[in-house]
Amino acid sequence: MRRGGSSVLVPAALVAGSVLALTPLVWMVSASLMRPGEASEFPPPFWPSRPTLGNYVELFTRLSLGRALANSLLIASATTLGVLLLNSMAGYAFAKLRFGGRERLFRILVAALVIPAPVAMLPLFLMLRSVGLVNTYLGAILPGTAGILGIFLIRQFARSIPDDVLDAARLEGAGELRIYWTIVLPLLRPVLATLAIITFLATWNDFVWPLVVLTDESRYTLPVALASLVAEHVPDTELMMAGSVLTVLPVLLLFLLLQKQYIQGITLGGVKE
C-alpha cells in the first residue's frame, strides 16, 4: 500500500523492531546461563562466558520450583477443561437451540465483558472462604471457568453447523446430550483448540487471583512463586532469570506450536458480528 523507495527502509525497520522485541527475551535466556554474579559485573556482559545450567538445578533442588511448575500445569489444565466443557455447551445452545429470551440473554453476557474482573475479586474471596475453598486448587480453578469470551467464540463458530444434521439425528431418536457429544463437539474441534490455547495461556499467566487465593507456598503457581522469590533474592540476577525462563518457556513453546489457532481466536474475538 505504500509506494516504492522504501524497499530498504521497510525491511530495516522490521528488523530493528524485531531486535527490540526479542532482546529482553534473549537476554533473559542468556543471563539464566551465567555463573552466579556474572550479570552484575561491569560492564554488563550480554553472553555468558561459560554457559552453565547450575541456576536451573538450584531452582529445582533448593527453591523447589518444580512444585510450582506442577501446580501451574494442574491449575491451567483443569481450568481449560472446565472452560471447554461449560462454554461449548452454552455457546452451542446460544447458536442452535431455540428458547425464549435467547438473544437478549446473550446480549447481556456480551455487555458484561466490559466489567473489569478485579471488581468481583473481594466478594469472591469471601465466598470461597466461607465454603473452605481458599488455599485450595479448586479455589484457584473455579473462577477461571466463568468465562464469557469462550461462549462468544463457540457461538460464532457453531452457527455454521447445518440444522439438517441436528434434525436428522433428532428424528432418529438421539437425545440432545448425545447429539452434543457425538455430533456437535467433533464439529467444533477447531474452535475448541483455539479456546483451549487461549484459556491455557491466560490461566498460566494470571497473577492476581492465584496470589490472593493461594496462601500456602506449596500451592503457589509459577508467577506467584517467582514474585515471592524475587522479593527475597534481589541480587541473584542469574537465578531469577532462570526462574523467568521456566515460567515463560512453556507458554512461548505452546504458542509457537499452535500459533495459527491462537491468532485465529484473537482475530475472531476482535471481529464484531
Partner 1 sequence: MFLAPGLTAILVLFLVPIAAALLLSLTDFDIYALGDTANVRFVGLRNYARLLADPLLWKAMRNTALFLFVGGPLTIGVALAAALLLQSRAARLRGLFRTIFFAPYVTTLVAVAVVFRYLYHPRFGLIDHALGRLGVPPIDWLGDPRWAMPAIILLAVWKNFGYATILLVAGLQAIPESLYEAARLEGAGWWQLFRRITIPLLSPTLLFLGVLTTIGYFQFFAEPYVMTGGGGPLNATLSVGLLMYKAGFRWWSMGYAAAVAFVLFVVVLGLTAIQFRLQSRSGA
Q: What's 258's DSSP letter?
A: T
Which segment (60-68, 161-169, 186-194, 246-254) binds partner 1 by CB under 8 A?
Answer: 246-254
Stretch that binds partner 1, among 54-62, 123-131, 159-167, 185-193 (CB under 8 A): 123-131
DSSP letters spanning 179-218: IIIIIIHHHTHHHHHHHHHHHHHHHHH--HHHHHH--SGG
Stretch that binds partner 1, among 50-58, 61-69, 188-196, 247-255 (CB under 8 A): 247-255
Nearer to partner 1, 168 or 227 (CB): 227
Binder to partner 1 among 65, 204, 219, 220 (CB under 8 A)?
204
Candidate list 57, 70, 122, 168; residue touching partner 1; CB under 8 A: 122
Task: Determine the 3-state secondary structure of 62 from DSSP.
Answer: coil
User: Is residue 142 close enough to count as binding partner 1 by CB under 8 A?
Assistant: yes
| Segment contacting partner 1 by CB under 8 A, of 56-64, 139-147, 160-168, 187-195 | 139-147
Nearer CB in complex with partner 1: 17/190: 17
H and E: helices and strands count for the chain? 15, 0
| Residue 87 sits in the site that holds partner 1 (CB under 8 A) | yes
Nearest distance from C-beta of residue 240 to partner 1, angstroms: 6
Distance CA 138, CA 129 (A): 12
Stretch that binds partner 1, among 49-57, 58-66, 147-155, 163-171 (CB under 8 A): 147-155
Dist. CA 61–CA 216, nearest whole Å: 19
Our finding on whether 248 is near partner 1 (CB under 8 A) is yes
Instruction: Report residue 148: phi and psi, to 5°.
Output: -105, -40
Type of residue numbered 140: A
Q: How far is the CB of 1 from partner 1 (least distance, A)?
A: 6
Among residues 196, 70, 219, 92, the alpha carbon closest in space to that of 144 is found at: 196
Binding pattern for the stretch 36-75 against partner 1, x by CB under 8 A and - elsewhere = ---xxxxxx-x-----------------------------
Nearer to partner 1 by Cβ, of 63 and 93: the residue is 93
Would you say 141 and 82 are in contact if contact means Cβ atoms under 8 Å apart?
yes
- Give me the helices (H) in 113-258, please: 121-130, 137-141, 149-158, 163-171, 176-178, 185-187, 189-205, 208-213, 222-232, 237-257
Q: Which of 50, 98, 100, 123 binds partner 1 (CB under 8 A)?
A: 123
The helix (run of H) or strand (run of E) holding residue 65 is helix 65-96
Binding-site size for partner 1 (CB under 8 A) equals 97
Phi and psi at residue 133, to the nearest 5°: -100, 0
